[in-house]
Structure 1
Amino acid sequence: MVKCQVVMDALERIAPRHLAEDWDNPGLLVGSPAREVSRVLVALDVSDLVVRQAIREGAEMIVAHHPLLFKPIKKIRTDEPLGHRLQLLLQHDIAVAAAHTNLDIARGGVNDVLAEAIGLGKLSSFVITSQDDDGRVESLGRIGSLPQPMTIRDFAEQVKKALPTKYVRFVDAGDRPVRKVALCSGAGAEFIAKAAAMGADAYVTGDVRYHDAQHAAELGMHVIDAGHFGTEFPVVQVLAERLREELSTKGHVEVVTDHKSQDFFTIA
């Protein structure tokens, strides 16, 4: 066993908290740093399904990408979903931590995993979030290139096959071949204009709205909406592997993954 704080220290090395956006809420959200941990469950969300898996498999800690607690809460109603989830976590003494935008931004984090999955190379920064005195830049998203140009339809098919999603939506902006691609995992439609300004032929993200798609078409840039779940869930396995490496010399602790969660959206 190791202390919960040892897991938090490992998570800090993987996705330093200082990288997180100011509005975010990463870190230890439920439980005590002194909690003894022998099994850690890594997940995208702290859903009812994930909490039940943690209880069933004896995990004393959940490490998720999305924070369970994001906005201040004024009451804990155990007859409502969040309150009931918190009740179960406290009853079973399960700690919960999150690495959110810090894991999006971190090297080897969500966006790098997404870029590798869909076949991009020669990656560089996209939406710069910080720059230190040595000129090291951190950013949300990535911009990279495909080995060979593709049609938007072929690239959309490649993205669909690479990610845990049954479908993707895409904006076909014409005959423009796809070579340079920008991406931002999760919900990144706000950066469509930036992707176009940086010369991207296509932009991959999730949660794209109608008028976002219209704007992309007007800019002459293809957009692929592969879903919030589809663009982020691949990091779960990678984060678990990195935690195993970080914890391998710290004591006996098993790292397992959420293996049943699926996108809430499906198609008829």
Structure 2
Amino acid sequence: MVKCQVVMDAIERLAPKRLAEDWDNPGLLVGSFKQNVRRILVCLDVSDAVVEQAIACEADMIVAHHPLIFKGLKKIRTDLPLGARLQQLLKHDIAVAAAHTNLDIAVGGVNDVLATAIGLEKLSTFVITSQAEDGTVESLGRMGTLPAPMAVEDFARQVRDALPASHVRLVNAGKRAVRKVALCSGSGAEFIQKAAFMGADAYVTGDVKYHEAQQAVELGMHVIDAGHFATEFPVVEVLREKLSQELAEYDVEVIADRESTDFFQIM
């Protein structure tokens, strides 16, 4: 058993809250820092299915990537999805914490996990979010290189096979081989131009729209849209491992959500 505060301290070491974007809402969102925790469920989204898993496995805490609550609540309607979810969590005394953009930016976080999974090496910063006086630079997304140039079709298949994705969407900008790759997990289409200007042969992200794909082709850069879910879900198991290590001295079990799937299916 461990206090929730100890778990939050461990999360802070892995993904410091100071790294989070101003609009974000990481931290403890449901529950008390004083409550006891014996079992933690790590997940991407606090969905109804995840809450059911937490109840079934008698988890005392959920640690998610996406915050359950983003904006201030003026009412809690238990006949609506969020209110019903909150009611279940409070009824079963399950705390909920989130590490969102702070986990995206943190070393060893979502983007590093994605870069490693798809075979990138020599990682560097992409969208710089802060720079300390000692020269330490924090970045959203990553730049990296492949061991050898690849045809974009082969690289797209490599990305698909490395992630929990049934497919990827390839924006093919021509015969350009892929060696230098930029990426931003989740939803990063807003950085297509930046990736192109930084010399990326290909950009891996999710949630790309039609005109954003058109922009990439005009800039001569390939884009691989592997989906929001698939580019972020791999961090769940990694976060489980890291939390287990951080809490090794305590009598607490950390388990990962292995049941959730992408909301999108190809018919």
TM-score by length of 2: 1.00
Answer with 208-217 or 72-81: which moved more.
72-81
Q: Are residues 1:201 and 2:201 paired?
A: yes
Query: Alpha-carbon deviation of 1:21?
Result: 0.4
Please give the alpha-carbon distance, in whole angstroms, between the structure 2 residues aligned to 1:150 and 1:43: 33
Q: Are residues 1:262 and 2:247 paired?
A: no
Aligned to 2:52: 52
Aligned to 1:187: 187
Aligned to 2:142: 142
Please give the alpha-carbon distance, in whole angstroms, between the structure 2 residues aligned to 1:259 and 1:48: 14
Extract unaligned runs of 5+ from structure 2: none
Aligned to 1:164: 164
Superposition pairs of residues 36-185 of structure 1, within 5 angstroms: 36-185=36-185
Query: Alpha-carbon deviation of 1:193?
Result: 0.2
The runs of at least 4 consecutive aligned structure 1 residues that moved more than 3 Å come to none
Please give the alpha-carbon distance, in whole angstroms, between the structure 2 residues aligned to 1:39 and 1:5: 14
Please give the alpha-carbon distance, in whole angstroms, between the structure 1 residues aligned to 2:229 and 2:71: 21
Please give the alpha-carbon distance, in whole angstroms, between the structure 2 residues aligned to 1:214 and 1:245: 44
Q: Are residues 1:220 and 2:220 paired?
A: yes
Please give the alpha-carbon distance, in whole angstroms, between the structure 1 residues aligned to 2:225 and 2:56: 35
Please give the alpha-carbon distance, in whole angstroms, between the structure 2 residues aligned to 1:210 and 1:35: 47
Please give the alpha-carbon distance, in whole angstroms, between the structure 2 residues aligned to 1:86 and 1:152: 44
Query: Alpha-carbon deviation of 1:71?
Result: 1.3
Query: Alpha-carbon deviation of 1:74?
Result: 1.2
Q: Deviations over 1:11-57 (max 9, x none)?
A: 00000000000000000000000010000000000000100000000
Number of equivalences: 267
Query: Alpha-carbon deviation of 1:6?
Result: 0.4
Please give the alpha-carbon distance, in whole angstroms, between the structure 2 residues aligned to 1:76 and 1:37: 25
Query: Alpha-carbon deviation of 1:84?
Result: 0.2
- The one-letter code sitting in structure 1 at the alignment partner of 2:65 is H
Query: Alpha-carbon deviation of 1:200?
Result: 0.1
Please give the alpha-carbon distance, in whole angstroms, between the structure 1 residues aligned to 2:80 and 2:192: 36
Classify the secondary structure of the residue corresponding to 1:123: strand
Query: Alpha-carbon deviation of 1:259?
Result: 1.1
Classify the secondary structure of the residue corresponding to 1:86: helix
RMSD: 0.4
- The one-letter code sitting in structure 2 at the alignment partner of 1:94 is I
- The one-letter code sitting in structure 2 at the alignment partner of 1:93 is D
Q: Percent identity?
A: 73
Aligned to 1:236: 236
TM-score by length of 1: 0.99
